[in-house]
Structure 1
């Protein structure tokens, strides 16, 4: 087993919900939630390690009032049909609170070859079946179909958020039915909050693996895994099987707490890399969402002989 010292962690401090995407131009692109929850930044580097010192470019800032005025969360950068898209969640501020938890999902588009340049155009809210709490969108392509996966509150279901999937007509529009593919059900998914959120997709060995995060954003935060056969109907809930145990969780021994909201990328050799955030202490004063020290981390993702991903445990802070 590797010692997982491929990367010096933390990779980027005070960046939660990290998203790393390796583009066809060879660059790694990075975006994440910033502690102030007031803007969206993108940076790029020729290597994963290079993201640490790369200069962030602010591509969008929140409004003073209205539905895009507070708690800008979990941006993801995608390249679809020759254009760049950023999916993110935003809430509204009020006179008495910095931000209500009334998040909706929104889309930005950029036609520039380099997403650090050009103009980001607001494409509006991503409309789903309900007007309710929604966040953590991701997107992937499979067999010529573009899919959108997100977390949302169904007003008829107890809990905070479930995972849904829909096909897309384009980079900012859903089409056809939306299907719930996961809901918090196991004890490890319902600590503090009943949450399934933060999905990320990886395809290998005839399977589609979808990681997600569960429970409150303190040391109980952890990652689960859904699996579907690549030939199955991905819009059929029965195609997705949830692993009964978390696949990535707090390691007291390694001093890593609440690992989650991950993304997947590949290193310079094409090997899979797990990107995630975690804290290096357990006890938090106040609301965990306003503790800024969820740091971005990276480590190699290994594979079991049966073709399933082996997430291992969050590695200790330190050098290679």
Structure 2
């Protein structure tokens, strides 16, 4: 638990980590900037599960491929305007010297130490590799001074009148050797750098955003007037969390002694309740999706049990009922000639009153995997295979197929409906002439024929951060949450192993979704193998709202590093800034010591 803040100033320590086994905490993860917090400048506690919050971006090649990069020796400092800067040494992905960064250091800026902007490489005008670096603002001269040490142990200083003029540094001058204040912290794998003082407001926000909140209080009305058990059951408890956020909870009331036909005042006890699901919830089911249709809930997922050769669907009156519901086969690789295998990532979406399944399938080998759409006939039963249309390949607005078969694949298509418009977002990977990795695109969709795009695809994200290109360059599995004038598009990255993780794109709901400049990409993942003990490679999320209005994260993960993919469910919380929290586990979400409540019921 983070130490309570009592001072007007708090302290933030930046650091990197020593790499661990490749599948656990590889170089691409360890060589990033991490943050720790302290209320007194002495006792530091890791933020964000002791995982990185700032990663160097990959560089682009002319053929579309990328060169993964990492960073070492980050140095955190304050800018003249009170915001923050970070200088760091950019390296190759494995921490080795980066030829493109020789004689330069990488500059980032941030307003809050949560979201960062990579400005670029500052040319220090030295033909040697930088081994250590620091930067300070000199208020007397109004300039920034960069101190650095080269690979031979020589120390220099450069002066910049304008920090953002990347080529505007003065010639390097010989200087005294760099000396950092010693900072010690008992944090696993820590390679400490420097600590700075920040306002209590900044410190509090970092703690609230980069730690998992816990349930600390429960509020219910002292008295309620009700005429029936149904009216009483509509009363919700308000769970209060350590960061000041709240969430509504249902209550199971023991109201047997209330005579609803006799006016009076009754004291009623109750137990705060929330559904909870042990992990794994459904074994050998990946890329899971739950949707509500005509008052019932349906579950569909990639079937790892038969190597992705079939799609089964489950139905129940409640989400919890899906866990043990029977499965009905609705698609296999024998019914339709073009569908030969690799049935991946099915999603149920209702568009203009009709139900569709978006999924990927191949006409032959892996390199022919393409997005398809199936439509439920009017009045049809989603659990009956014959009531679904033959899968249709997604086409562009000119009628041609979305991807060139055998060269580019498409998969993980989802639907976003906003402001009367319908959009598709999906992952696309070019393999020929070179493999450039999987990128996420968005386009408008024809709601009458939702297998047809009606705008050109627009690139939203490519795997340019180390956590996204860990083992392979992949961004995939987009799915939207729309809440409070924000659209959150979570997506999954890295290899589909224990390094799999969840990133976040954010956009305001009143802007053009097809303008990539409107979107903000988070610097660090929301969910990783470090987030929840015993869950590895968590990702490929979708979301569903239950009958109580609770939003659930439907995801897959592995109960062990080498274990099979399995589905899980966890409530989605929202932090102090309204951003989704995907790692609030049941033990922190609902404190058992706070679930017993009472209320005074007035029957009139």
TM-score by length of 1: 0.88
Provide the C-alpha distance between the structure 1 equivalents of 2:315 and 2:416, rounded to a whole number of angstroms: 21
Distance change in 2, residues 1:135/1:253 (3 Å): closer
**For 1:266, which of 542, 545, 565 is the aligned residue?**
545
Q: Which structure is higher in helix share? A: 2
Match of 1:150 in 2: 426
CA contact (8 A) 1:17 1:33 kept: yes
Within 5 Å, which residues of 2 pair with 1:198-209? 198-209=477-488
Residues 1:189 and 2:468 are matched in the alignment:
yes
Provide the C-alpha distance between the structure 1 equivalents of 2:583 and 2:317, rounded to a whole number of angstroms: 26
Query: How far is the alpha carbon of 1:123 from its aligned partner?
Result: 4.7
Provide the C-alpha distance between the structure 2 equivalents of 1:6 and 1:83, rounded to a whole number of angstroms: 31
CA contact (8 A) 2:481 2:489 kept: yes
Query: How far is the alpha carbon of 1:43 from its aligned partner?
Result: 1.0
Alignment partner of 1:127: what SS?
coil
Query: How far is the alpha carbon of 1:119 from its aligned partner?
Result: 1.6
**For 2:374, which of 89, 108, 112 is the aligned residue?**
108
Within 5 Å, which residues of 2 pair with 1:160-175? 160-169=437-446, 170-175=449-454
Match of 2:301 in 1: 32
CA contact (8 A) 1:163 1:182 kept: yes
Match of 2:226 in 1: none
CA contact (8 A) 1:249 1:313 kept: no
Residues 1:137 and 2:413 are matched in the alignment:
yes
**Higher deviation after alignment, 169-178 or 269-278:** 169-178
Residues 1:19 and 2:289 are matched in the alignment:
yes
CA contact (8 A) 1:123 1:172 kept: no
Unaligned runs of 5+ in 1: 94-98, 285-292
Provide the C-alpha distance between the structure 1 equivalents of 2:547 and 2:336, rounded to a whole number of angstroms: 43
Distance change in 2, residues 1:188/1:168 (3 Å): same
Query: How far is the alpha carbon of 1:156 from its aligned partner?
Result: 8.0
Q: Radius of gyration: which is bigger?
A: 2
Query: How far is the alpha carbon of 1:222 from its aligned partner?
Result: 0.3
Within 5 Å, which residues of 2 pair with 1:1-320? 1-2=214-215, 6-23=276-293, 25-35=294-304, 36=306, 37-63=308-334, 67-93=338-364, 99-111=365-377, 112-117=379-384, 119-128=387-396, 129-131=402-404, 132-154=408-430, 159-169=436-446, 170-251=449-530, 254-283=533-562, 293-312=564-583
- Superposed CA RMSD in Å reads 2.4
Alignment partner of 2:387: what SS?
coil
Distance change in 2, residues 1:183/1:248 (3 Å): same
CA contact (8 A) 1:150 1:199 kept: yes
Distance change in 2, residues 1:158/1:60 (3 Å): closer
Query: How far is the alpha carbon of 1:5 from its aligned partner?
Result: 7.1
**Higher deviation after alignment, 105-114 or 44-53:** 105-114
CA contact (8 A) 2:534 2:560 kept: yes
Distance change in 2, residues 1:281/1:167 (3 Å): same
Provide the C-alpha distance between the structure 2 equivalents of 1:40 and 1:158, rounded to a whole number of angstroms: 29
Match of 1:289 in 2: none
CA contact (8 A) 1:256 1:315 kept: no
CA contact (8 A) 2:573 2:584 kept: no
Per-residue CA deviations over 1:151-185 (Å, capped at 9, x if unaligned) read 00246886321111111113221111210111111
Count, aligned residues: 303
CA contact (8 A) 2:370 2:403 kept: no
Per-residue CA deviations over 1:98-118 (Å, capped at 9, x if unaligned) read x43431111111123531235
Distance change in 2, residues 1:2/1:15 (3 Å): farther
**Higher deviation after alignment, 7-16 or 32-41:** 7-16
Relative contact order higher in (CA < 8 Å, ≥ 6 apart): 1
Provide the C-alpha distance between the structure 2 equivalents of 1:260 and 1:147, rounded to a whole number of angstroms: 22
